[in-house]
Amino acid sequence: MENNIIISPSALACDFAYAADGIRKVYDAGAAYLHLDVMDGLFVPNLSFGPDFIRALRPHSKAVFDTHLMIVDPIRYIDAFVDAGSDIITVHYESCENVAEVLTYIRSKGIKAGLVIKPKTPVSVLRDFLPLVDMILLMSVEPGFGGQSFIPSSLDKLREARAMIDASGCSIDLEVDGGVTMSNIAAIREAGANVIVAGSAVFRAADPAAAVKALKGEQV
């Protein structure tokens, strides 16, 4: 059976001075997605990059650009991130005044829409939006900074989300982001995640191709 696990390395872990080379390297290693964390310093206590950085990277990678907006009132910037080359835009349940409106607008631009929740937000809030999403993202750390440890209760939330998706009959990917390591990846896959965000585990691996295979659960 074909492995349906997708690896989405976080661009925050790349060397920004050589970002184009880095993202080509991880794509060639088998990472089909590139995770792009956009932080505004308001919704989360950190700043990262905006659409200009994504636009600059776009010619250098064939990867699916998986753009995660950790920003206040994200509908204001959907057009800019679509124009920059995003293939998926994921927005936070907690940051939208009208979640359905934002998701519908993203899809109206011809790309995929995702919905993400923080660790303390219950999975149940996602239920009403399942027909409007292509991907659900569960944060397994508090968003804002890389290098945090995986919150163990995230496994239960992944199982709950996977059961909800399966029961809905909708075709929805389940993504996890935060603290993913080689020691917990098997449990994460078993809990139902099929899109895995990893940063240094791929970008800083001595053998990125081996790292991607290990994360996918394939023989190295």
Point out the residues that are catalytic.
37, 177
Identify residue 71 by its one-letter amino acid code.
I
User: What is each CA distance from 49 to 7, 46, 199, in whole angstroms?
Assistant: 21, 10, 16
* Terminal Cα distance for the chain, rounded: 17
Nearest-angstrom CA–CA distance, 152 and 132: 28
Helix (H) or strand (E) holding 139: strand 135-139
| Residue 91 DSSP one-character state | E
Nearest-angstrom CA–CA distance, 63 and 92: 23
Nearest-angstrom CA–CA distance, 215 and 184: 10
User: What is each CA distance from 156 to 19, 84, 159, 161, in whole angstroms?
Assistant: 35, 35, 5, 9
